[in-house]
């Protein structure tokens, strides 16, 4: 019998295990349950395949306590927590007395309900077992009940090193640095695990310097200690340091494990240098390392980030049954990153199990690819699921989606959910809130949120500055840059784009010039803003000079600003110059052709209007399709030119026709109808009566009560004749209409518009 045990302890792989199994069955030397237990012990050690282990277990006709106990241990190690609990209940009902170690695994698997077993263990007298006691202590720590853990810890007469270690990791888990350090200093002895816990603890609170100090002072280090320090760097956005540490550990003769490879690969993808990644991949190939699914997933993500979508998809497909949630999520975000929303959605719909990250990836994917309404719809679906809770990331995406379509009421509804579900918002959540408010025209609220923030980053400042810019508060934007410098936050190139835009919209020419001078290394975008500022202010010749002398090649944005300024100030010649450059730089952008055509139209050059339209047709360009949104009872209604898919379409078009008749009667003729006198009759029909803004406004008129202001939101610029039409509608209907155009809000009432500077 002892020979058998000795033999069993030597088994080191599954093949030997199967041979041994055959030997036992063939010779049937001992009782059935005895050798089943023996096999299960080996299965636990070798992490044998679940199907095989199950077959061993079921081969026993009447399993005894020992068989049950080892099977329970196996389930627990495999993470099959439900099986553990049901097996325990089964033993209980059969009146089988579990071996003591069963309680360790039972407590591990019980999760939040592990507390129940504390009393149970006390009653059975197992509390003196130091392993079981530690399992309880550790359970409290893992459940975040550090107070209960501390109470138990203090009661212990004899504390093992493991208990101290559990307690220290509990302190870090609850963010109690002081207590962790105190325990560390009080400990009678420390081991690698103690030191490593300190490294990860400091990393978790973001104190990389202290983490490194403990790492450097460690008397000895395991591969885990190196991994802890390396991942600390990787997670705190210091991927270069992480790679440095990787090379250092190779030099010191440490053999990297799966974790090391995963962190190293993810650091390569953060740095974004494919050649660096290649050298790591060569190393893996040379060493003939078999990568586990974690590392494969990291690799998949890296290829996706480098734009190698096909390689990424191959890895995903080859992972097969080893594919975990993360692999699905990585593949989804790989697709959303490049705008392939339908492919992403297909994966999302087919996922076996969706977690918060899956939902967040898909919601953010829609929000970032101009599908704000879809993003919000998916969020609604998400909160109707009972098994999933939105977090800060979800909220940040959804708030930004609300901002993009100017849906303020939806934004309020999202905030209600934040309160209801007690979701804690951090910097990025507040940044999205600032974005949402300023995009919806509530700059005062945006400012208020900004001021209540405890810590702000450069994005917080940039978002509010752009908010000020969009709403015409130039001076506040400039002031904010000064505050920024006072708080020690370095303005970046986005900051200056915001400030220059603010100056431009508020007509602050000299202030803008000073800002421009203060930029250390202006980019081509800053030059484009400056051309816009000079151009809008009427200094078109200076703008032209600036382009001539700028140190880099101008891009479309630079000439676009010049073209727009030429339109505002009716400088046909300059407009032609800008347009000719734009037709070279971005021949496929229909907006430039439309702008030029409008410039010709406003000076009555109909032949040229026709010529530009002909040019567009030859190059196969469609004019821009405008879209408008109306927010009504938490639903966003979208309108596209000529669209008849809305359920109230019939009424909307009826109202539209009525309004146009009324307008004609009071002498209103859309400006564009002049420009289109030589255009085909049906095209005129298409371009005139059915602009998305008009549809949206008619819908708003249909649903809103008399006397309430109508709110229409839209992302594209309102065209000239629509602007006039809305003025007329506001006069005829005696209603206030608020329309958002690109970034600004236009308030129409009694035939007047309070925001004229574009026209």
Partner DNA sequence: TTAGGGTTAG
Site residues (vs DNA, CB under 7 A): 100-101, 104, 108, 129, 131-132, 134-135, 138, 160-162, 165-166, 169, 191-193, 196-197, 200, 222-225, 227-228, 231, 234-235, 257-260, 262-263, 266, 269, 292, 294-295, 297-298, 301, 324-327, 329-330, 333, 336, 355-357, 360-361, 364, 368, 391-393, 396-397, 400, 426, 428-429
Asked if 395 contacts 432 with a C-beta cutoff of 8 angstroms, the reply is yes
SS (H, E, C) 543-554: HHHHHHHCCCCC
| Least distance (Å) between residue 442 CB and DNA | 20
Asked if 222 contacts 196 with a C-beta cutoff of 8 angstroms, the reply is yes
| Least distance (Å) between residue 576 CB and DNA | 41
Asked if 434 contacts 446 with a C-beta cutoff of 8 angstroms, the reply is yes
Nearest CB to DNA, comparing residues 265 and 529:
265
Give SS3 for 247: helix
Nearest CB to DNA, comparing residues 330 and 753:
330
Nearest CB to DNA, comparing residues 135 and 700:
135
Query: Rounded to whole angstroms, how far apart are CA atoms 487 and 186?
Result: 39
Nearest CB to DNA, comparing residues 186 and 482:
186
| Least distance (Å) between residue 18 CB and DNA | 22
Asked if 403 contacts 411 with a C-beta cutoff of 8 angstroms, the reply is yes
Sheet holding 627-632, edge to edge: 635-640, 627-632, 710-714, 737-741, 744-749, 752-753
Q: Which residues in 371-515 belong to E strands, given as ranges?
A: none
Residues 21-30: contacts with CB under 8 Å, at least 24 apart: 21/56, 29/4, 30/1, 30/4
| Least distance (Å) between residue 544 CB and DNA | 39
The conformation of residue 197, written as its DSSP 8-state character, comes to: H
Torsion (CA) 412, 439, 755, 642 in degrees, nearest 10? -90
Nearest CB to DNA, comparing residues 324 and 442:
324
Nearest CB to DNA, comparing residues 299 and 659:
299
Query: Rounded to whole angstroms, how far apart are CA atoms 671 and 602?
Result: 9
Residue 204 Cα to chain centre, angstroms? 21
Strand partners, 749: 752
Question: How do beta strands 737-741 and 752-753 pair?
Answer: unpaired
| Least distance (Å) between residue 496 CB and DNA | 22
Asked if 728 contacts 751 with a C-beta cutoff of 8 angstroms, the reply is yes
- In order of 103, 387, 525, the CA distances from 729 in angstroms are 76, 48, 38
| Least distance (Å) between residue 178 CB and DNA | 19
| Least distance (Å) between residue 561 CB and DNA | 28
Nearest CB to DNA, comparing residues 22 and 426:
426
| Least distance (Å) between residue 565 CB and DNA | 33
Nearest CB to DNA, comparing residues 407 and 656:
407
Nearest CB to DNA, comparing residues 336 and 730:
336
Q: Mind giving me the DSSP string for 296-323? A: HHHHHHHHHHTT-HHHHHHHHHHHGGG-
Query: Rounded to whole angstroms, how far apart are CA atoms 304 and 328?
Result: 12
Residue 746 Cα to chain centre, angstroms? 32
Nearest CB to DNA, comparing residues 20 and 335:
335
* Nearest partner of 714 among 630, 595, 623, 591, judged by Cα: 630
Nearest CB to DNA, comparing residues 162 and 755:
162
Longest dimension (CA), the chain: 109
| Least distance (Å) between residue 40 CB and DNA | 13
| Element spanning 737, H or E | strand 737-741
| Least distance (Å) between residue 699 CB and DNA | 31
| Least distance (Å) between residue 58 CB and DNA | 24
């Amino acid at each position: 019998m002892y020979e058998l045990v000795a033999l069993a302890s030597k088994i080191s792989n599954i093949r030997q295990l199967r041979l041994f199994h055959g030997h036992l069955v063939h010779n049937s030397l001992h009782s059935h349950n005895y050798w089943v237990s023996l096999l299960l012990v080996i299965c636990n050690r070798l992490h044998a395949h679940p199907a095989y282990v199950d077959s061993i277990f079921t081969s026993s006709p009447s399993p005894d306590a020992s068989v049950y106990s080892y099977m329970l241990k196996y389930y627990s190690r495999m993470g099959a927590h439900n099986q553990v609990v049901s097996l325990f209940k089964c033993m209980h009902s059969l009146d089988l007395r579990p071996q003591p170690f069963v309680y360790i695994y039972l407590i591990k698997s019980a999760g939040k309900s592990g507390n129940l077993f504390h009393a149970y263990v006390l009653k059975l007298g197992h509390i003196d077992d130091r392993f079981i006691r530690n399992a309880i202590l550790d359970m409290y720590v893992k459940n975040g009940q550090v107070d209960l853990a501390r109470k138990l810890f203090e009661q212990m007469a004899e504390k093992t090193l493991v208990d101290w270690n559990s307690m220290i990791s509990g302190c870090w888990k609850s963010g109690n640095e002081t207590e962790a350090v105190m325990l560390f200093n009080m400990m009678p002895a420390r081991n690698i695990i103690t030191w490593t816990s300190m490294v990860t603890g400091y990393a978790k609170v973001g104190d990389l310097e202290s983490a490194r100090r403990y790492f450097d002072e460690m008397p000895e280090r395991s591969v885990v200690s190196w991994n802890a320090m390396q991942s600390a760097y990787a997670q705190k956005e210091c991927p270069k340091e992480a790679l440095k540490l990787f090379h250092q550990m190779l030099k010191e003769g440490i053999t990297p494990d799966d974790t090391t490879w995963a962190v190293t690969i993810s650091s390569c993808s953060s740095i974004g240098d494919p050649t660096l990644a290649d050298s790591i991949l060569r190393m893996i190939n040379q060493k003939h390392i078999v990568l586990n699914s974690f590392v494969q997933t990291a690799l998949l993500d890296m290829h996706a980030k480098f734009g190698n979508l096909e390689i990424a998809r191959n890895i995903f497909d080859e992972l097969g049954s080893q594919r975990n949630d993360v692999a699905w999520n990585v593949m989804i975000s790989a697709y959303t990153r490049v705008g392939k929303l339908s492919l992403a959605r297909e994966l999302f719909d087919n996922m076996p199990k969706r977690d918060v990250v899956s939902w967040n990836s898909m919601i953010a994917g829609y929000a970032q690819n101009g599908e704000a309404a879809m993003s919000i719809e998916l969020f609604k679906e998400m909160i109707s699921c009972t098994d999933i809770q939105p977090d800060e990331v979800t909220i940040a995406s959804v708030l930004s989606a609300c901002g993009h379509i100017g849906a303020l009421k939806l934004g309020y509804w999202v905030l209600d959910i934040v309160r209801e579900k007690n979701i804690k918002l951090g910097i990025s959540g507040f940044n999205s809130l600032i974005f949402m408010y300023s995009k919806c025209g509530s700059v005062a609220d945006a400012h208020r949120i900004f001021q209540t923030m405890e810590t702000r980053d450069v994005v917080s400042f940039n978002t509010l500055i752009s908010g000020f810019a969009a709403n015409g508060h130039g001076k506040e934007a400039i002031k904010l840059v000064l505050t920024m410098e006072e708080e020690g936050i370095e303005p970046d190139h986005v900051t200056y784009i915001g400030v220059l835009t603010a100056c431009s919209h508020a007509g602050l020419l000299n202030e803008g010039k000073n800002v421009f001078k203060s930029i250390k290394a202006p980019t081509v975008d800053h030059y484009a803003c400056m051309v816009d500022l000079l151009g809008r202010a009427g200094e078109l010749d200076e703008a032209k000079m600036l382009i001539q002398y700028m140190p880099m090649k101008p891009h479309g944005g630079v000439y676009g600003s010049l073209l727009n300024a030429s339109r505002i100030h009716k400088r046909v010649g300059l407009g032609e110059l800008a347009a000719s450059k734009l037709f070279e730089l971005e021949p496929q952008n229909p907006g430039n052709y439309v702008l030029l055509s409008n410039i010709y139209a406003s000076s009555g050059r109909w032949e040229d209007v026709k010529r530009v339209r002909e040019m567009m047709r030859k190059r196969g360009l469609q004019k821009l399709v405008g879209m408008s949104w109306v927010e009504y009872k938490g639903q966003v209604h979208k309108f596209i030119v000529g669209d008849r898919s809305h359920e109230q379409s019939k009424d909307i078009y009826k109202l539209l026709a009525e309004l146009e008749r009324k307008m004609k009667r009071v002498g209103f003729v859309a400006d564009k109808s002049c420009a289109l006198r030589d255009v085909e009759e049906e095209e005129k029909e298409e371009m005139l009566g059915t602009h998305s803004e008009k549809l949206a406004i008619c819908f708003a008129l249909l649903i809103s009560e008399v006397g309430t202001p109508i709110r229409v939101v839209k992302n594209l610029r309102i065209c000239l004749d629509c602007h006039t039409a809305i003025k007329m509608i506001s006069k005829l209907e005696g209603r206030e209409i608020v329309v958002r155009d690109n970034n600004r809000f236009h308030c129409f009432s009694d035939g007047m518009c309070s925001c004229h500077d574009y026209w």
